[in-house]
Structure 1
Amino acid sequence: MLLGREMSVTERSERVGITGANLSILKNGKAKAIRFSTLEALCKARDCPPKALLEYREDK
């Protein structure tokens, strides 16, 4: 969901203001934290609320 078909990783990372590598970390669920400013920029780029990008997973 993080990466839509209408925009490349490079284009989205430039719009959001983070590197393509960091965007991939977020996309693959490997991020341990996210800044609110990054979350806000992602929401603006996708035109969606935060709940569309976030998923809660309980630690195992």
Structure 2
Amino acid sequence: MNVETKEYYSKEAIQREIKAGNRTGTVEQMDANVEAMARDLQEILRIGAEQKRLWEVYEGR
């Protein structure tokens, strides 16, 4: 995913961009890492929203 435009790219679309010099794992490993990071980010955002909600409830006392 392009973090600026939020555009998603398939493995097939970027396969030709991956070269030995800039490669840090197999395409499958990188895909799994990206998916894990996306899940982690969703959880971070969920926790942040919950913290904000709780703080607003606390301040509303």
Which is bigger in relative contact order (C-alpha 8 A, separation at least 6)?
1
Provide TM-score, normalisation by structure 2.
Answer: 0.29
Higher helix share: 2
Alignment TM-score, normalising by the size of structure 1: 0.29
Structure whose alpha-carbon radius of gyration is higher? 2
